[in-house]
Amino acid sequence: MNRVSTCDGVWGERLAEYENLLIDLDVEKHIAVVTVNRADKLNALNRALLAELDHALDEIAQQSDIHVLVLTGAGARAFVAGADIAEIGGLKGQQDGAEFARFGQQVFSKIERLTIPVIMAINGYALGAGCELALCGDIRLAADTAQLGQPEVNLGVIPGYGGTQRLARIVGRDRAKGIIFTGERLGAEDAYRLGIVDRVVPAADLLDEALSLAESLAAKAPRALALAKIAVNEGVLLSLDDGLDLEAELFGQAVETQDRKEGTDAFLEKRQPHWLGR
């Protein structure tokens, strides 16, 4: 990957520097890689890190030349080992706790609502908020060494960054309760069998696999991907009839794009399409 740091002139003025995140951009391939970088604490998410992530997501969302985001954790051991337990220990009561949860939820929902595909490259422990973060992505690749789980009840709390809601929607109500009640750590293969991760790859190949998948998605019509993401994410929350209405509406929006003409012309002319993203 052609790694372009935030110090690079092309991006220096547009993308802030972050203490707890590494941001690599490949503008030619249209891929951004965000690495949670707090390896001495197994990439645990504290408020400062979440605030940085919130800001970075806004910046990435504004880059029209970035079409796919890959999110991973620094080091070989952890994707994200949870919310920062020291911060949870310092929470001052109900309101403080609810605000703590809402802030994390807001940042994670921002990931889910990005109009570009988000690939989670789960390179190790994805526990608590780490598992919840992974659940916000569109496609989850896991290293064969990864371990996922929601161990919050071991600390006297519950998942607060969307785990009780998103996990139940992915694996079903009762399996989610089993995972949350026991706090057990699932190996990557078990997580795959439950549908929590989409693919398990050797740890050494994880980032290459994620980047290769990102490249293949970046070669698709960006607006079509965005519309498909909205159709699926919002449609599953609706009745079938309302979901079909939404699909027809979004299909209509896709037909309005110049990329629809380019995509169909390219097929008929037996050439590669050149997407405009509109």
* Residues carrying an active site annotation: 132, 152
Among 42, 179, 201, 214, binds ligand COA (CB under 6 A): 42
How would you class 89 by CB atoms within 10 Å of its CB: exposed for 0-12, middle for 13-18, buried for 19 or more?
exposed
Among 16, 27, 85, 230, binds ligand COA (CB under 6 A): 85
How near is the Cβ of 185 to ligand COA at its closest, in Å? Answer: 8
Among 73, 82, 137, 263, binds ligand COA (CB under 6 A): 82
Segment interacting with ligand COA (CB under 6 A) among 14-22, 26-34, 36-44, 222-230: 36-44
Interaction residues for ligand COA, span 147-166 (CB under 6 A): 151-152, 155
Segment interacting with ligand COA (CB under 6 A) among 29-37, 68-76, 102-110, 120-128: 120-128
Segment interacting with ligand COA (CB under 6 A) among 75-83, 90-98, 110-118, 210-218: 75-83
Segment interacting with ligand COA (CB under 6 A) among 85-93, 136-144, 192-200, 218-226: 85-93
How near is the Cβ of 151 to ligand COA at its closest, in Å? Answer: 4
Shorter beta-carbon distance to ligand COA: residue 125 or 275: 125
How near is the Cβ of 127 to ligand COA at its closest, in Å? Answer: 4
Among 44, 126, 186, 206, binds ligand COA (CB under 6 A): 44
127 lies in the site for ligand COA, by CB under 6 A: yes
Shorter beta-carbon distance to ligand COA: residue 22 or 91: 91
How near is the Cβ of 91 to ligand COA at its closest, in Å? Answer: 11
132 lies in the site for ligand COA, by CB under 6 A: no
41 lies in the site for ligand COA, by CB under 6 A: yes
Its sign, for the CA torsion 267, 272, 276, 278, is: positive
HEC assignment per residue over the chain: CCCECCCCHHHHCCCCCCCCEEEEEECCCCEEEEEECCHHHCCCECHHHHHHHHHHHHHHHCCCCCCEEEEEECCCCEEECCECHHHHHCCCCHHHHHHHHHHHHHHHHHHHHCCCCEEEEECCEEECHHHHHHHCCCEEEEECCCEEECCHHHHCCCCCCCHHHHHHHHHCHHHHHHHHHHCCCEEHHHHHHCCCCCEEECHHHHHHHHHHHHHHHHCCCHHHHHHHHHHHHHHCCCCHHHHHHHHHHHHHHHHHCHHHHHHHHHHHCCCCCCCCCC
Please give the torsion angle defined by the CA atoms of residues 260, 261, 266 and 272, in that order, rounded to the nearest 10 degrees.
Answer: -50
Q: Which residues bind ligand COA (CB under 6 A)?
A: 41-42, 44, 81-86, 88, 125, 127-128, 151-152, 155
